[in-house]
Amino acid sequence: MLDPQAQALLQLMKDRGVPELNALPVLQARDFYLVRKALTQPDPLPTSVCKDHRLPFGAVREYRPLGVAAHHVLPALTYYHGGGWVIGNIETHDVLCRQLCDASGCAVFSVDYRLAPEHPFPAAYDDALLAFQWVVDNAARLHIDPFRVAVGGDSAGGNLAAAVCLGTRDSSQPPAFQLLIYPATLMYPDTPSYHANGQGYLLTAAAMHWFMDHYLPTATDRHDWRASPLKAPSHARLPPALVLTAGFDPLRDEGLLYADAMAAAGVATEYICFERQIHGFITMGRVLRESHAAVGVCAEALKRYLK
């Protein structure tokens, strides 16, 4: 059964004639996404540090929890925001990053990677990889432990986090953990959830095609494991993972398929589905109570794997 709070939110959006993002020009969709997010997110939590660092592609925003000395060495999470590789930024996910920072005790580094269509695939992946490497390489001055740096993200950000783990698998310092929140793992999927949940539950199949069409300029790109992590030749030797999905999300099944692929390859993998929820629910704590439970699950996993 759909969560009554999620159902009420969807009905309110329908009654008010809220447009689908794919019905808008890209720049307008980005502005609207930021406004819409603000209406459903909780108030931002305070942190001891909220500081932007400049990288060649854009900004990485650093958060450190309250009550922690500036010189204290912390584990860290490199976080990639959702938004279909087309919309979203560090502002749309500021509240979630603050929540994860506060609840986990980790430093969080939120990545403002380049967006399509101005910067199509593989620009977002390249930026995600560079940001993770920057965090590790600058661990000493950032007062974090380079051997306890996780990657994570929601939706398109979960896709990037999964791809970064694949891309760094044979490096000297791969991520210590991956937090994949309703990740996109298969471009142009044909799964039961994609058909059953592709209309009426906020994220639609049409919107996903809009995002993917902007991100992937050629048909061959969709088969590249950097875009479709599920298509990687192997999922062995990856960092431990938590994959979190939502029951009424078109992306539910590809998240489960990815968790199963990693588990079958011997990766320590946890899978949790919030059966009553819709795509994007973890950022909607102002209107969806289960959002807070999901944040708590993610934070506990970070504490457990980065201890």
221 catalytic, yes or no? no
pLDDT tens sequence across 139-151: 999 999 999 999 9
Set 193, 228, 279, 291: catalytic member:
279
What pLDDT does 301 receive? 98
Q: Write down the pLDDT at residue 156.
A: 98
* Dihedral angle sign, alpha carbons of residues 23, 38, 278, 176: positive
Is 3 a residue of the active site?
no
Q: Which residues of the chain have pLDDT under 70?
A: none
Tell me which amino acid residue 197 is.
N
Considering the candidates 235, 249, 253, 291, report the single residue annotated as catalytic: 249
Catalytic residue selected from 110, 155, 193, 291: 155
Long-range contacts of 22-26 (CB under 8 A, 24+ apart): 22/204, 22/206, 22/207, 22/209, 22/210, 22/211, 26/86, 26/87, 26/117, 26/214
Tell me if residue 92 falls in helix, strand or coil: coil
The pLDDT of residue 70 is: 86
pTM over 0.75: yes
pLDDT of residue 43: 97
Separation CA 65–CA 199 (nearest Å): 39
Beta-bridge partner residues of 153: 80, 180
Q: Is 223 annotated in the active site?
A: no
Rounded to whole angstroms, the Cα distance separating 200 from 278 reads: 10
Q: How far apart are CA 285 and CA 306, in angstroms?
A: 25
Choosing among 1.10.1240.10, 3.10.180.10, 3.40.50.1820, 3.40.50.300, the CATH entry for 4-305 is: 3.40.50.1820
Q: What's the CA gap between 299 and 307, in Å, rounded? A: 12
Residue ranges per domain, the chain? Answer: 4-305
